[in-house]
Structure 1
Amino acid sequence: MQAMSLDSNSYGRTPVSHAQLPEVFRNSYASLNEPQKQAVEAIDGAVLVLAGAGTGKNTSSDNAPCQYSSFSKARPHQVLAVTFTNKASLEMRERISHLLGLPTEGLWLGTFHSIAVRILRYHAELAGLQSSFTILDADDQLRLLKQLMKAEDIDDKKYPPRIIGGIISRWKDRALLPDQINSHEFRSDSYEVIALKIYREYQARLKILNAVDFGDLLLLNLKLFNEHPDILNRYRNQFQYIMVDEYQDTNVAQYLWLRLLAQGHGNICCVGDDDQSIYGWRGAEVGNILKFEKDFPGAVVIRLEQNYRSSAHILAAASTLISQNTDRLGKTLWTSEAKGEPVIVRGVWDGEEEARVIGEEIESFHRKGYKLSDIAILVRCRFSNP
């Protein structure tokens, strides 16, 4: 991988030598495959690690290696590492603490929401809040929406508060405040018109209550950064290295937040997989990962393609299927494992026939001596109300 100069128009990563890596990486370096080594060696600049399914990104030796390498060139408080769930955040903390021998208290490691809360607490007054603001959960949010709709004499049977709340949350995920939404795009009797009316009143009530909901956390961070460039520059200067896990699941607000923070120095490492973006229904934008190289010209894209989980037949079937997708950067998973059993695709008329076929297969295996506990049925479906 060629070294790249870092200027205002280039965010290419500068590789380091094996000897310059932290000792913990030198010890496990030999066990990594070549793309994983590239990710460990890439320190300065922008890098996108496309980690295919089963490529081992969640192991302690190769999960977002640039996360840990960055600690070798910056003080702990200068590294920002964000992920999506509390569980993933805890695992990240445990790995960093174990690998580098650092206590994680006070480090900027956590979920998008937890980091955004921390920033908002520091600058609450500039965001129109007191530092003691409360965060509404889903039940509190629904209760407040019901109150506002009742006060406006809006029929909550025709316009269920949960749906109205969902529309407002999607707008917040797209970083849209009420005055940024064009009501002329909607029919006069649409859910969106009602939602926009309630959205304005909802935000005003939250301010009176000194409260926010989860969608506000990043939304108010963006407002704070855009209206107070000095605050943005403070965090740009502080966070010399930014790491993101599951980047394909970011929504627009998260994407804009990360881009604002990273466009100063360009040291950002994102790990994700455009082929595993399944959360569009909750605001995730796979386009964020697709335009990474446009956002950071000169960025290095590293593909982790060696699969350690599945047989060759399974990978071939999955790769052929996913290759039909248009919104992807593209990669080819492979494995050194045996070919395994061929994949069988069987069509059935309805759910009853599907259950009968599966039952017969289970009985057949059971007669051959397999334990029932050795058999698994995996189902992915959407449940809907009758």
Structure 2
Amino acid sequence: MNDRPDDVPGAPTAARATDWTTTPFTADLLRGALDLERTERGVLPHRLPAWARAQCADGHLAMAETQPSGVRLVFRTRATAVELDALRTKNAYQGAPPRPDGVYDLLVDGQLAGRTSVTGGNVLMMDMTTGSAETRPGPVGTVRFSGLPDRVKDVEIWLPYNEITELVALRTDAPVEPAPDGGRRHWLHHGSSISHGSDAASPTTTWPALAAALGGVELTNLGLSGSALLDPFTARAMRDTPADLISVKIGINLVNADLMRLRAFGPAVHGFLDTIREGHPTIPLLVVSPILCPIHEDTPGPAAPDFGNLSTGKLQFRATGDPAEGASGKLTLNVIRDELARLVKQRAGDDANLHFLDGRELYGEADFAELPLPDQLHPDAATHRRIGERFAELAFGEGRPFALRGD
């Protein structure tokens, strides 16, 4: 379809306007999404299916699952120029400086070849003191990549992990076709905001994306900021999603939200794992406990924001519980780690492919001393890289739960 006008500013010099091809967004071009919602403009990727979204009215979860962490366009083409029209919804906080723009990463044959952001878009302005939110509409923007090698190649455009992204149009100066996955294994991961990517540098440098690249697997990332709360609909979505490897990282937000007590936690974990096993009875399943988070190691939640330095862009969090409340069953990270280890050991007698990883092996006391959590909860970009590299070693390494097995 030759529909790009000649006078559009910024048109790549490698192609004349009459050479542009517009390709519709179809499921075989998108990886990492469990559902594609057709909109008036185009396509909105979701990381939870519609039936699961209908079972929870939480606005934060609705925002998180629509932020396309791990979602990428993947296609094979000779194109030397690619344009993607997208409408973003970017978060902003009342009284705080603007947050950095979300990032699009371009990979050519698996190697980073470009990185940029989209302009325009909506702004979701949130007031953390009142809990109110207002969406301020904005225009569609365009992401442009040019100067790509003139040969057949596999192209990936990883969408921002922290911006709701409605895909409007994909234009290239040569036709595209779906790219094969090369027979790579599919890894399905579920976790909280750290798995979602909070404060990583870009979509391919969240720790799950880094670990997937090092492990040579295809990633579906169900890291959901503010969630990973043992929701039954998430377990059912994982049960129904094709996968060769599954990991679940459980704990921090159960403490942050002060959501349940020890009595409910154990049965909820059993139920979550039982549901996953209904669809994936024998594949490797790795249960990961929380990384070190000093404010919640022995102090229950809920967590609360500290607005003292918000005007300078430094939002931090604190634990508001009383350590003595642990005796009444309130959850702390140490309690959760002990219980998860116990439950996995109990179940492993009947499930040889169930494994446990203590999150402090990914990020522990020595790491905190070197690379502290800037807001007391979330790692920075350097720490995402460290966690990703360690997970790759501890999960995908020889003799580890996700290692390749001989026939």
Classify the TM-score, shorter chain. under 0.3
Q: Could you say which structure has the higher strand fraction?
A: 2
Q: Could you say which structure has the higher helix fraction?
A: 1
Q: Which has the higher contact order (CA 8 A, sep 6+)?
A: 1
Relative to the length of structure 1, the TM-score reads 0.23
Q: Which has more radius of gyration? A: 1
